[in-house]
Structure 1
Amino acid sequence: MIQGLYEAHLPVKDLKVSIPFYEKLGLKLAWREGSTVFFWIEEGKSWLGLWEGREVETPYHPSLRHIAFRVAYEDMKHALEWMASIGVEPSAFGGRPTFEPFVRPNQGNASVYFNDPDGNSLELMCYVEVPESLKSITDKLSLAEWEQLLKQA
């Protein structure tokens, strides 16, 4: 029945600031009406709605103001360089001492986080193939640590 995510929504303060930000992430503007815009995440498959208004004053919580964009593992390896090239700074996650991408072996994914101009949490995330012998690891590992562990597995 369910085949994927069709849409997600975030509150923003000023579309004049938000539209260029999301365009530099590579999202394509689908349509705009008044204080609302929609960007294609995957054209014809999924989109992101941005709503200008006071809702942006809602305190941050990941259940309310967070989106994860799916990327390929190979792209994750270059995420920091890509972010720097478009003027986006990574942000910390879960008390990690660095901003670099990390792998969650027990979940089979890797992530790196950053914020939009309104403090909404954005994430680049990819699937990671995890050998059975490593699936019980609950630590968050840097990509370098992960790849070294894979060589030893």
Structure 2
Amino acid sequence: MIKGLYEAHLPISDLAVSIDFYSRLGLEVAHHGDAVTFFWIEKGKSWLGLWVTDKVETPYHPSLRHIAFHVELDDLLEARDWLSKRNIDVKTAFNFRSEQQPIVLPNHPQSHAAIYFNDPDRNSLELITPLQIDEKIDFKMMELEDWKA
């Protein structure tokens, strides 16, 4: 069935700024045009389309302006530093104040650990990894470090 993300599209205001940003995340340009650029997320399998528009300031809704990139747990543990080295700030998610992102989301039947940040046009981006958690355990959102303890 579903094996991963095939494509996602986001509105952007400045193509050059967005190309620089997504390149710093390690994504490779698949197609570059005047008003749209596609990046490979997984070469030959999934991509991200960035569309220049004057409608970037439309009201935010996560289903329209959010992308989650699957990463392994070991990489997620290093994600805050990895983003910092690329001059990308981590953001608060779900009004959960955390200085030590990533956070663990108690979503059943599958819980996840995630870290959130924005692109230059305030599109919401997420690095996420599934976690193996006993479904019988009920818990609140917490920092990943607390979950590991």
TM-score normalised according to structure 2 size: 0.92
Post-superposition Cα deviations, 1:9-60, rounded to whole Å, max 9, x if no partner, equal 0000000110000000000000012200000001111000000012212121
Deviation at 1:133, TM superposition (A): 4.2
Aligned residues: 146
For the pair 1:118 / 2:121, whether they are aligned, the reply is yes
**Superposition pairs of residues 67-146 of structure 1, within 5 angstroms:** 67-99=67-99, 100-105=101-106, 106=108, 107-134=110-137, 136-137=138-139, 139-146=140-147
- Three-state SS of the structure 1 residue aligned to 2:31 is strand
Distance (Å, rounded) in 1 between the aligned partners of 2:52 and 2:103: 32
Deviation at 1:131, TM superposition (A): 2.9
- Three-state SS of the structure 2 residue aligned to 1:48 is strand
Of Structure 1 and Structure 2, the greater helix share is in: 1
**Any gaps of 5 or more consecutive residues in structure 1?**
149-153
Give the ranges of 4+ consecutive aligned residues of structure 1 lying more than 3 Å apart after TM superposition: 1-4
Deviates more, 1:2-11 or 1:34-43: 2-11
Distance (Å, rounded) in 2 between the aligned partners of 1:108 and 1:119: 25
TM-score normalised according to structure 1 size: 0.89
Q: Identity of paired residues, percent?
A: 49
